[in-house]
Amino acid sequence: MSLERDLVSPDAEGDEQAVESALRPKRLGEFIGQGRVREQLSLVLESALRRSRPPDHVLMSGSPGLGKTTLAMIIAAELGMPLRLTSGPALERAGDLAAILSTLSEGEVLFIDEIHRMARPAEEMLYLAMEDFRVDIVVGKGPGATAIPLEIAPFTLVGATTRAGLLPAPLRDRFGFVAHMDFYDVAELEQVLRRSARLLGLELPDEGAHEIARRSRGTPRIANRLLRRVRDFAEVRADGVITRDTASAALNLYEVDAEGLDRLDRAVLGALLRKFGGGPVGLSTLAVAVGEEPETVEVVAEPFLVRQGLIARTPRGRVATASAWTHLGMVPPPDAFGAAAQPVLFEDPGAS
Ligand SMILES: Nc1ncnc2c1ncn2[C@@H]1O[C@H](COP(=O)(O)OP(=O)(O)OP(=O)(O)O)[C@@H](O)[C@H]1O
């Protein structure tokens, strides 16, 4: 993986996880942005607390790095309950899940990250656990196999997914509350950056915060990461103050462009324009053209490019918009997607 990809990849790896946990907001009141989700969630939690019952199960969907794990931790903290963390890929067999469920204490919050990647038998066990707080332990094999029901303590499941569309309907329907996390706007990311700078003991003037925020792909994890790289640059190449010019020079060095597009984003756009004339082209063909897995293109690059209005998903495949051509310094063809939305000048027949 290239340095540039690491820098703007929405996934956290290695040492970064330690820094991240230091920067995580701990309570709902500290959580920045996602106003609607915060308000809905605070109602769900408050009413559960009043009834002294565990709240409904919560599903959070959204791109990586938008704060799903942080919110799961906040839910447990607001309820004053312990949190157990696991992930879909770790639940390969039903037994893996049964081992966790059977040791939950009453009211505990169970967080399953990447819940769409859970194996089928574990998923089926989860249906019953979510609905009836019970699991069936199957003993024996073939016609003689028997299911022994095992009561489990009432708990709250918090599931997170980057691909809500992949969740089977029976699982999705068992969540009482679904939170859709959206990309953050620049003002919200500035707040995230100011908070992180305070916690890291950095001086961050507003102009520097703005420059980093607008290049952070709408993602707090990336904002925090860019802040640390800009800090390095400011300390080594400047006088330590993160001015707009320092931030901009640092981010140019790391090949994060003015709109926050990184090397993968530009590779996807470049392939779409140069190899496929702007599309439409299927996801897997596009992924092969940039040498990435289709899932990486779909989960990491595409949501942001769609949000920026640079590509569109159509039933026939991915299509570049007129803005994509302009972004890469090329002239959009007259029939480019979205070009019709631009004002078109007609000769006025009644003129003269
Ligand atoms: N609303 C927020 N306010 C302040 N900081 C935030 C917020 N959301 C996320 N962050 C910061 O971004 C980092 C990444 O958040 P988090 O790990 O919760 O994302 P995630 O959506 O769970 O990502 P993944 O799906 O990759 O696990 C956190 O360390 C936290 O510091």
Q: How confident is the model at residue 145 (pLDDT cuts 50, 70, 90)?
A: confident
Quick check: is 162 catalytic? yes
Binding-site residues for DNA, in ranges, read: 313, 318
Nearest C-alpha to atom 13 of ligand 1 is from which residue?
A: 221
Give the residue, out of 9, 23, 28, 70, with the most ligand 1 atoms within 8 A of its beta carbon, to mutate for a pocket test: 70
Residue 328 has a pLDDT of 86
The secondary structure of residue 174, as a DSSP letter, is: T
Residue 137 has a pLDDT of 82
The secondary structure of residue 306, as a DSSP letter, is: H
Q: How confident is the model at residue 259 (pLDDT cuts 50, 70, 90)?
A: confident
Q: Which helix (H) or strand (E) holds 274?
A: none
> Does the pLDDT at position 76 exceed 80?
yes
> Does the pLDDT at position 125 exceed 60?
yes
Q: How confident is the model at residue 140 (pLDDT cuts 50, 70, 90)?
A: confident
What is the rounded CA–CA span in Å between residue 36 and residue 44? 12
Residue 346 has a pLDDT of 46
Q: Are 89 and 117 in contact (CB under 8 A)?
A: yes
> Does the pLDDT at position 4 exceed 50?
no
What is the rounded CA–CA span in Å between residue 320 and residue 338? 9
> Does the pLDDT at position 292 exceed 60?
yes
Compute the mean pLDDT over every residue in the chain, rounded to the nearest whole number: 88
Residue 320 backbone zone (phi > 0: left; psi -120 to 50: alpha; other: beta): beta
Residue 8 has a pLDDT of 58
- Tens digits of residue pLDDT in 172-211: 999 999 999 999 999 999 999 999 999 988 889 999 999 9
Tokens of 197: 């700078």
What is the rounded CA–CA span in Å between residue 28 and residue 6? 29
Q: Are 339 and 332 in contact (CB under 8 A)?
A: yes
Q: Which helix (H) or strand (E) holds 303?
A: helix 302-307
Q: How confident is the model at residue 146 (pLDDT cuts 50, 70, 90)?
A: confident
Instruction: Quickly tell me which residue has 């809905």 as its tokens.
Output: 40
Q: Are 311 and 272 in contact (CB under 8 A)?
A: yes
Ligand 1 close to Cβ of residue 9 (< 6 A):
no
